[in-house]
Amino acid sequence: MSSSTPPLLQVSSLHVHLGGRDIVQDVSFSLTVGERVGIIGPNGSGKTTLFNSLSGFLPVSAGSITFREREISTLPPHRRAQLGLGRVFQNFGIFREMSVFENMLLAVESNRKIPKRRRQSTVAEYLDLVDLLEKQKDKAGSLSGGQMRLLEIARTLAVGAELLLLDEPTAGVSPKLKDSVRNLLVHASDNKRTIVVIEHDMGFIGQLCDRILVLDVGRLVLDGPPDEIRSSQKVHEIYFGDAHA
């Protein structure tokens, strides 16, 4: 990124207080268009709280969040989504009693940039991208966990999200479909979508991400490429040291 190009997302000195405790403490980082970033850390390190504050589900206690040079810290979740910040939760958000096609169509219809005459073909394009075209008439609830995850990511992309926050996208997903999830996210970043993933599967993170952020007790303690993070003594201490025994 050239020095004259502003970041897509800028997080500055972010604090989140919950229940009298600092869950996120003085966290700062920036994201550029097309980056694929992983966030790791032990349980209780503040990963999901950070996501909740970025997407508007938890209030920011101090600091700022800027998306495309606009301060969004006080905006509700639906306004952040309208601006292009998409969230894929750990629990599936699809409509299980609706068909795969209907689930996808709802997302496409919510994207005002897609002309009405192109909605059906756009649905087909996304379902083909995630190998679900042949299942378009099936109820979404009949899909496997991995297929549901692919459908949910495709729906988030179809809505027009420029920044995707994914909380453990490979949880309960078979090894084969993990590859499909990774390929879909790489495809998205190649098309100028920015991907941020919370994930415990270090193999998945290492293959997907260009960069990894490490959280520990609410603080950002490391930020670097996967090889550097994997070999870090600090990471080993965080996961296996006395502090987390």
Boundaries of every domain in the chain: 9-90+162-244
Mean pLDDT of 116-130: 93
Q: How sure is the predictor about 242, in pLDDT bands with cuts at 50, 70 and 90?
A: low
CA angle 207, 212, 214 (to 5 degrees): 135
Is the pLDDT reported for residue 1 higher than 70? no
Is the pLDDT reported for residue 28 higher than 90? yes
Residues 6+ apart with CB under 8 A from 30: 7, 9, 10, 11
Output the average pLDDT for the chain. Answer: 91
Is the pLDDT reported for residue 51 higher than 70? yes
**CA dist., res. 216 & res. 42, Å (int):** 7
Q: Nearest to residue 179, comparing CAs of 149, 155, 143, 224?
A: 149
Looking at the domain 9-90+162-244, which fold is it? Rossmann fold (3.40.50)
Lowest mean pLDDT among 9-13, 62-66, 101-105, 146-150: 146-150
pLDDT at 209: 97
**What pTM, to 2 d.p., does this model score?**
0.88
Instruction: Please state, for a pLDDT cut of 70, what percent of the chain lies above it.
Output: 95
Burial of 154 (0-12, 13-18, 19+ CB in 10 A): buried
Residue pair 70/45 in contact (Cβ under 8 Å)? The answer is no
